Amino acid sequence: MRAGSRAHQLGVFLHDRVRSIVAVSEDGELGVALRDSVEPWRALIRDVRSDEFDAAVAACEPWPWMVVGSGSAAPNSLLTLLMTRPSIVAWYGAAPLGVGARIHTSARFTDVAGFVNDCLHREVGGMRLAAGTGIELPLGRCVRSASLEALIGGHPAGFQLPLRAFQSGARVLRMLDIPWRPQRAPASGNVVLAPWLSPAKVVSV
């Protein structure tokens, strides 16, 4: 077997629907440090190099919940990911050119790890991330929606994306009659989770 194909047999490239954090760095130190900081059942850490980023993103079904990177250059496709999918992005060190406004940056690793854990532990309207994948709702119910997982983790900053990117999350909330919806925040213009009053309720008030 050639070295290249052998490398792509590694577990970090296995397709999986569990919540994934793609840790992209040149030497792996970032991935190792993150693995030490995050409870393993909350998210899978995929420790990859810059040239493996696309393969790692493709392995995350439907997309990586979070990308954490380091170094002055971002993988070429990071901006594409940011412009199409609600992935939370954190960067250790100065933000790479072209993506600065959309990502969380910090010069200290403890801040980066703290940010990751804050996102993993966040609760919005009684909803929080379940172990591995999905969302735990009030009364012990569980649902799966990648866009809703992103909105909860990324709350309250939200995402610079069209509202239609959050249709599955909105559908889940509507079906379960949970009074929160993805909405555009007036101040930032980002899509965030916000309390929602149904038109029927508004009329009856």
Residue ranges that bind another protein, judged by CB under 8 A: 6, 9-12, 14, 17-18, 27-29, 31-33, 35, 40-41, 44-48, 131-134, 140, 142, 144
Query: Least Å distance between CB 168 and another protein?
Result: 14
Half-sphere exposure of 4 (CA within 13 A, CB side): 3
| Cα–Cα distance for residue pair 66/71, rounded to 1 Å | 17
Query: Least Å distance between CB 17 and another protein?
Result: 7
Query: Least Å distance between CB 139 and another protein?
Result: 8
Asked if residue 36 lies in contact with residue 47, where contact means CB atoms within 8 angstroms, the answer is no
Query: Least Å distance between CB 169 and another protein?
Result: 17
Asked if residue 21 lies in contact with residue 45, where contact means CB atoms within 8 angstroms, the answer is yes
Nearer to another protein, 35 or 184 (CB): 35
Parallel/antiparallel/unpaired status of strands 66-70 and 88-92: parallel
Nearer to another protein, 43 or 88 (CB): 43
Nearer to another protein, 131 or 157 (CB): 131
Q: What secondary structure letter does DSSP report for 18? A: S
Beta bridge partners of 182: 193
Nearer to another protein, 39 or 80 (CB): 39
Asked if residue 19 lies in contact with residue 46, where contact means CB atoms within 8 angstroms, the answer is no
